[in-house]
Amino acid sequence: QVQLQQSGAELAKPGSSVKISCTASGYTFTSYSISWIKETPGQGLEYIGYINPGSGGTNYNEKFKGKAALTVDKSSTTAFMQLSSLTPDDSAVYYCARSVSFWGPGTMVTVSS
Amino acid sequence: DIQMTQSPSLLSASVGDRVTLNCKASQNIYQHLAWYQRKLGEAPKLLIYNVNSLQTGIPSRFSGSGSGTDFTLTISSLQPEDLATYFCQQYFSGWTFGGGTTLELK
């Protein structure tokens, strides 16, 4: 069955970067885009962007350009999202999703000094 | 950005009730509309895609309808396991999400 396994919670300092992962199984990794979504109590669900694992092509929500960088490693069927120049506003739960059909369990990122 | 507005934000209903949840897009999104169910501590689960296509494994008591800017999720006979938060999502231009409707027992 389709599974998306996400990396564990992160505690990061302001100004630093984190890289969270989303490992896919149960389907052909290169056949579906992987999207990333941010969730906060205040803003709700926000779309960050997607990556095409086959081509590596990406598309970002304007709001997250320069903040998020999406990559994949086809050999391990893993998608990554690096968040840079972290501020407390980046504290959130981050989800990966296979197209619209299946979401991972989420990774909590806390940015605090 | 396309804005998605759901109503009501909270709905009280009894087991066996027919329940209707609404979602309105700020512009025409054609058929690019999905509905998800969200239970506490769990990832969202896709129920409906392309307005009215039932995701595999989802009970037939769930159905979707609408077009353009106005959409509806209907649960024909509410079951106890349906108590959850439901949100809509447009994928016509990027993705944006409604604020959710929480179903509670009356």
Q: Which residues of A touch B58 (CB under 8 A)?
A: none
For B41, the closest chain A residue by CA position comes to A105
Question: Which pLDDT score, from 0 to 100, does residue B102 have?
Answer: 97
Alpha-carbon gap, residue B62 to A73, rounded angstroms: 37
Of A76, A77, A70, nearest in space to A30 by CA: A77
3-state SS class at A83:
strand
How many degrees, rounded to 5, is the angle at CA A45 between CA A84 and CA A2? 90
State the average pLDDT over residues B24-38: 97
For A37, the closest chain B residue by CA position comes to B95
Residue bearing tokens 């694992």: A53
With pLDDT > 90 as the criterion, what percentage of chain B qualifies?
93
pLDDT tens string B62-76: 999 999 999 999 999
Q: State the pLDDT confidence band at B41, using cuts at 50, 70 and 90.
A: confident
Residue in A35, A61, A106 nearest the CB of B43:
A106
Q: Please check whether residue B34 touches A, CB under 8 A.
A: yes
Q: Please check whether residue B44 touches A, CB under 8 A.
A: yes
Tokens representing A99 are 């197209």
Cβ atoms of A45 and A69 within 8 Å: the answer is no
Question: Which pLDDT score, from 0 to 100, does residue A104 have?
Answer: 96
Alpha-carbon gap, residue B86 to B1, rounded angstroms: 21
Residue B106 scores a pLDDT above 90: no
State the average pLDDT over residues A77-100: 97
Cβ atoms of B43 and A106 within 8 Å: the answer is yes
Residue in B44, B55, B96 nearest the CB of A103:
B44
Cβ atoms of B76 and B61 within 8 Å: the answer is yes
Q: Which residues of B touch A43 (CB under 8 A)?
A: none
